[in-house]
């Protein structure tokens, strides 16, 4: 198949709509990891009352993140705002933990999960293409309403 094959065009979406899609996939990944963290704390919650609360809270937040990811993909502006707020909070908390001498960030996995992923989502939603995708959605919403 030649490099100028029309198949390329058939498999690709317009580049401007990719930012919300990529951000939603990253949010789904985060939600999946949070869901597992919440579920994995359940055995400890049997004897530790504090973890009953944290486990339930984590599972609920994970479900909320799946919902936010779905609405991010649908280019809902309120979902973008919520995700930006949550990711900024998560990033700030992770940076604080990095500074504290408690060994919270050691190695590539915690850096990828706690720093790179939230930073990438923020960058995608704040980037020119990200903002443009949500502005386009607002215009089409207004047109539909009219």
CA distance 22 to 57: 26
Least distance (Å) between residue 125 CB and other proteins: 14
Give the binding-site size for other proteins (rule: CB under 8 A): 62
Contact between 95 and other proteins (CB under 8 A)? no
Identify the residue whose tokens are 């579920």: 39
Contact between 85 and other proteins (CB under 8 A)? no
Contact between 58 and other proteins (CB under 8 A)? yes
Least distance (Å) between residue 26 CB and other proteins: 7
Taking CB under 8 A as the criterion, the residue among 99, 103, 139, 146 binding other proteins is 103
CA distances 55 to 41, 44, 90, Å, are: 6, 9, 18
* Binding residues vs other proteins (CB under 8 A): 1, 3-5, 7-15, 18-19, 21-22, 24-26, 28-29, 31-41, 43-44, 47-51, 53-55, 57-58, 61, 66, 73, 97, 101-104, 106-110, 112-114, 129
């Amino acid at each position: 198949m030649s490099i100028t094959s029309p198949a390329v065009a058939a498999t690709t979406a317009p580049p401007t709509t990719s930012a919300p899609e990529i951000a939603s996939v990253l949010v789904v990944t985060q939600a999946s990891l949070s869901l597992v963290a919440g579920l994995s704390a359940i055995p400890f919650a049997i004897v530790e009352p504090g973890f009953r609360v944290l486990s339930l809270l984590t599972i609920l937040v994970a479900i909320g993140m799946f919902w936010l990811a779905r609405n991010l993909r649908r280019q809902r502006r309120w979902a973008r705002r919520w995700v930006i707020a949550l990711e900024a909070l998560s990033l700030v908390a992770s940076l604080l933990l990095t500074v504290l001498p408690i060994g919270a960030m050691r190695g590539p996995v915690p850096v990828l999960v706690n720093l790179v992923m939230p930073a990438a989502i923020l960058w995608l939603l704040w980037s020119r293409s990200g903002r443009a995708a949500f502005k386009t959605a607002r215009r089409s919403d207004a047109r539909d309403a009219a």
